[in-house]
Amino acid sequence: MREIVLDTETTGLDPADGHRIVEVGCIELVNHMPSGRVFHRHVNPEREMPEEAYAVHGLSAEFLAKHPPFAAIVDEFLTFVGDGRLIIHNAEFDLKFINSELRRLGKEILRCEVEDTLALARRRYPGAQASLDALCRRFEIDLSARTKHGALLDCELLAAVYLELIGGRQKRSRRRHDRGRKTGPPGSPPRGLAGGARRPRRDAAAAQRTDLARRRLDGLVPSVTPSPSRRPSPAGGAGARRNRSG
């Protein structure tokens, strides 16, 4: 199974108000494992950068003016995504912007299968905070590099969160619990595991795959520190955030 973890940064909250994409990041997963393939582009929005958005991602209009517009990267982006299943945190936000850019260019909108990790997290942990930061803290994923929002770094974090949401931590916890159960005579299965000891082996393998994927993600994205091309936020602007549960 091929999945694409995707994130965007934008000039604002709604493309209907003239806001545009300024950064796109994607990480390919194959059978829930990072394949090593990454797509990352900064995009010239062909408009000014509001201070509120700049305070979130630190991408200035001057920096972005040196990069191509979305029209110049769209074919490469669509080729990378292909027919992969999209993994997005608050998918409505990102898809709204991507499809707006595609419509602007007269192209078909994305019709891929989508897994919204925000909805997934809310189903698994009702009433708990479900922002990307909150989920990273829940799963003990290192957030020290996330001083600003960034599409590729956020993809790396989201990929790690997604692996946990689909069972990584739960399987590891169950494995520890099963190991602590009392056993019967030699050769008998642990109590409570009808049919033998197969489930702990399956869970152990799944946990090992999740841990391996996490280690691969740690080395996959080189830009884990803020880009030197990003200027410090203007005074008073550091508190501005987007309402996108990121």
From start to end of 102-175, where are the E strands? 114-116
Contact present, 122 and 38 (Cβ < 8 Å): no
Contact present, 41 and 223 (Cβ < 8 Å): no
Using the structure block, give the residue that is written with the tokens 């299943």. 85
Q: Is 149 a catalytic residue?
A: yes
Q: Annotated catalytic residue: which of 32, 67, 149, 177?
A: 149
d(CA 22, CA 9): 6
Starting at the edge strand found earlier in the chain, the sheet holding 33-42 runs: 33-42, 21-30, 2-10, 85-88, 114-116
Q: Are strands 114-116 and 2-10 parallel, antiparallel or unpaired?
A: unpaired
Contact present, 52 and 237 (Cβ < 8 Å): yes
What does the block give as tokens for 50? Answer: 């509001």
Residues with a catalytic annotation lie at: 149
